[in-house]
Amino acid sequence: MTNEEENFNLEEEYQQEPEAEESPLYDEHSEPADLPKAPSSSAAATGETASQKLRRVNEEDDNRAWFVIHCYSGYENKVRYNLEQRIETMGMKDKIFDVVIPTQEEIEVREGKRRSIERHVFPGYVLVNMILTEESWYVVRNTPGVTGFVGMGNDPTPLRPEEVSQILKRMEAEAPHVKVTFKAGERVRIIDGPFNDFRGTVSEIDMERAKVTVMVNFFGRETPVELDFLQVEKS
């Protein structure tokens, strides 16, 4: 960490971060990932989702606050596991309460099959709800994989309520986001609907409506066909 204050602007982070590491939620042709189980926590005990846990803890009125820690992108799950192990073994449950990785469900089409994945909203960041003391700071900061807190020097800056609300809004989106793997000018294959198995060229992508226009050769003529993102895959 440098001594300059780091500005944790959520919108800026979302736009500038590289594509997140993906963790499969379901794939009918693969076995579930054999991930280590974290020690018992409030989320595990109550069946809460990450967003429900974030909202519940955010509404509790005491000295706790949400802080943001850095880690290497792609190591978020390992950092959470390591930190929860340390909380358990070092008896810090009365100071460090929850560890959350903001995620969002995303659907992609691969080899003609739809696949649901869990996308990290802010790659390289993990949220920790804690009462900040020298002891709790030491436990978090020295967790394997953690590179630092967001803040000035060794002085972590807690998230403001409006920042927590922005994170919740992203995590609680009603419909899963559809991952677009193609761009204008690329060849794609239609995998659903009356033009199933036709191939064509992407002429337009409408992100707001989640539609793509594909030029297909139909009876010797180039014909524009408007499709949902999930009806095509990169050829």
Q: Which residue has the tokens 């198995």?
A: 197
As beta bridge partners, residue 120 has 103
Helix (H, G, I), strand (E, B) or coil at 22: strand
pLDDT-derived band at 16 (thresholds 50, 70, 90) equals: very low
Instruction: Give the neighbor-by-neighbor strand order of the sheet with 177-178.
Output: 22-26, 113-120, 103-110, 177-178
Q: Does residue 226 come out as left (phi exceeding 0), alpha (psi in the -120 to 50 range) or beta? A: beta
State the Cα angle at 148 between 147 and 150, rounded to 5°: 135
Q: Are 21 and 124 in contact (CB under 8 A)?
A: no
Identify which of 175, 127, 166 has the alpha carbon closest to the alpha carbon of residue 11: 166
In this prediction, residue 186 carries a pLDDT of: 92
- Mean pLDDT check: name the lowest of 19-33, 107-121, 123-137, 158-172: 19-33
pLDDT-derived band at 224 (thresholds 50, 70, 90) equals: very high
With the CA atoms of 120, 122, 123 and 128 taken in that order, what torsion angle do they form, in degrees rounded to the nearest 10? -90
Average per-residue pLDDT for the chain: 76
The residue with greater pLDDT, 233 or 90, is 90
Helix (H, G, I), strand (E, B) or coil at 151: strand
Instruction: For the chain, list the domains and their CATH numbers.
Output: 10-178 (3.30.70.940), 187-234 (2.30.30.30)
Sign of the dihedral through C-alpha 127, 132, 136, 139: positive
In this prediction, residue 213 carries a pLDDT of: 93
Whether residue 116 is predicted with pLDDT greater than 50 in this model: the reply is: yes
**0.85 surpassed by pTM:** no
Among 49-53, 114-118, 138-142, 167-171, the range with the most confident prediction by mean pLDDT is: 138-142
Mean pLDDT for the stretch of residues 93-104: 92
What pLDDT, in 10s, does the model give residues 153-209? 668 999 998 888 888 777 776 566 677 788 899 999 998 888 888 999 999 998 878
In this prediction, residue 230 carries a pLDDT of: 81
